[in-house]
Amino acid sequence: MSVQILQRQQSHSTDVPVPEDQVATIVARARQAQSAFAHAGQSTVDTAAAAVAWAIMEPARNRQLAERAVADTGLGNVDDKIRKNHRKTLGLLRDLHGRKTVGVIAQDAASGITEIARPVGVVAAITPSTNPAATPANKIINALKCGNSVIVAPSPKGHDTCALLLSFIHAEFARSGLSADLVQMLPAPVSKAATAALMQQADLVVATGSQANVRMAYTCGTPAFGVGAGNVASVIDNSAALDDAAAKVARSKTFDNATSCSSENSLVVLEGVYAAMLEALAQVGGVLLTAAEKARLQALMWRGGKLAGTFTGQSATRIAELAGLERVRALRPAMLLVEETGVGSDYPFSGEKLSPVLTLYREADFGAAVGRVARLYDYMGAGHSVGLHSSDPRHALQLGLELPVARVIVNQAHCFATGGNFDNGLPFSLSMGCGTWGGNNFSDNLGWRQYLNLTRIALPIAEHMPDEAELLGDYFARVGK
């Protein structure tokens, strides 16, 4: 039974079910479909993953999804969402192509270990309004590739986009002979109670979106993967190719109106190149606000310490219009630039903005720049990633050794690179683990590996028992026995 039919039945029912019972019905169908799917073999799970990929990538459907997403959420822009839907899904297919995820997937004669891939069962996929089609599709493809069924809990704003995506998926499933119950979603209106019930009844939770949802996932009693907050900073050092750095920052910061958690929120620029970098940013559409303009924008963008939703995911020109910055609006900026000296709740521009507003810090040397980024991440965004524009490889290593980040992105447009790109080796994903720094239990890009269990067969091998000197000799040499 499709989600749409379930919704119609419920809308005509005089007995409105409590969320737990309503969700239990959906989970029961998902569990029944998954029990058969889990034993269908590699070819069938590959077919299911491909069907979902084509459901979002087919050009006419991709455009419909992008247009619906912008209309429903008011976030981002259609052309960039079309590109995101296509590239992120194509990249995921590349990562999964030929990947064995059913049955025996590895054998090592030396260790005597055979690894068997096993599904986790029913996956609860919690997804955000910023990517109401791309993120659900990514999670659904990964889950199906590993033999699972999926129930999506979309954000309320993204519900209709997700429902449209599922209608396309079910159409592909009908052509492929697959059960529609393998991929379902919570019916509208999506409530916190229904989402909580889904988390508790599923076998695995994968949560992307608000930190409230991530915290709920980690405390729901079901094994969960959740991601941390974004607040990306990028360092521009004295050896950077400034025009190239500015162009890449602009591409990243303006893509889909900066709705990505991987878009830069701050640039930390060394004193020696600060003036030249400002000029390079101006050449790609950055407009520096005066102190008065910055104060006006800050007063409107944050109300009671919270980022105002009216500014989220809007273009820089629209933000200038909303803030009454007529001088800036007339320039039709690609980005709004604000200079800052402080970090923390008293300096809201130091945090995540989900808009093409970019904060600039000026630092005397690279050590001071590293310290500034550390303070930014102590306030918000620890674990996610840091950008670097430099020709000095030692600086990338220093960032990786000293900062609480899972990724160091060097000389790339950050929002494209962090979640995997065709010109770097990171796996494609729209959900980035932030490690214990960000309150997460993993620091990888969320991918297929998080959606399966492994059973290991251990065979006997020739015994080798080392003696104490073999393992403790260096210790004894240093401190004595």
Q: Which two tokens stand for residue 442?
A: 């993993």
Residue 109: Cβ-neighbour burial (10 angstroms; 0-12, 13-18, 19+) = exposed
Q: Are 242 and 396 in contact (CB under 8 A)?
A: no
Q: Are 37 and 44 in contact (CB under 8 A)?
A: yes
In the three-class reduction of DSSP (H, G, I as helix; E, B as strand; rest coil), residue 319 is classed as: helix
149 Cβ neighbours under 8 A, 6+ residues apart: 30, 31, 33, 34, 37, 121, 122, 123, 143, 181, 182, 183, 184
Q: Are 161 and 72 in contact (CB under 8 A)?
A: yes
> Taking the CB of residue 156, how many other CB atoms lie within 10 A of it?
13
284 Cβ neighbours under 8 A, 6+ residues apart: 246, 247, 249, 250, 334, 335
Q: Which two tokens stand for residue 418?
A: 């962090």
Q: Which two tokens stand for residue 2?
A: 């499709």
> Taking the CB of residue 200, how many other CB atoms lie within 10 A of it?
15
| Amino acid identity at 27 | V
Q: Pseudo-torsion of CA 140, 141, 142, 148, nearest 10°?
A: 60
The DSSP bridge partners found for residue 338 are 359
Q: Is the dihedral of CA 302, 304, 305, 306 positive or negative?
A: negative
HEC string for 64-76: HHHHHHHHHHCCC
C-alpha span between 416 and 424 (Å, rounded): 10
Q: Are 136 and 169 in contact (CB under 8 A)?
A: no
C-alpha span between 264 and 130 (Å, rounded): 16
Q: Which residue bears the tokens 């996956």?
A: 123
Q: Which residue bears the tokens 């260790």?
A: 111
Q: Are 310 and 322 in contact (CB under 8 A)?
A: yes
From the list 146, 220, 261, 415, the catalytic residue is 261
H-helix segments, 380-454: 393-402, 414-417
146 given a catalytic annotation: no
Q: Which helix (H) or strand (E) holds 288?
A: strand 286-288
In the three-class reduction of DSSP (H, G, I as helix; E, B as strand; rest coil), residue 213 is classed as: helix
- Within a 13 Å sphere around the CA of 310, how many CA atoms are in the beta-carbon half? 11
Residues classed as catalytic: 261
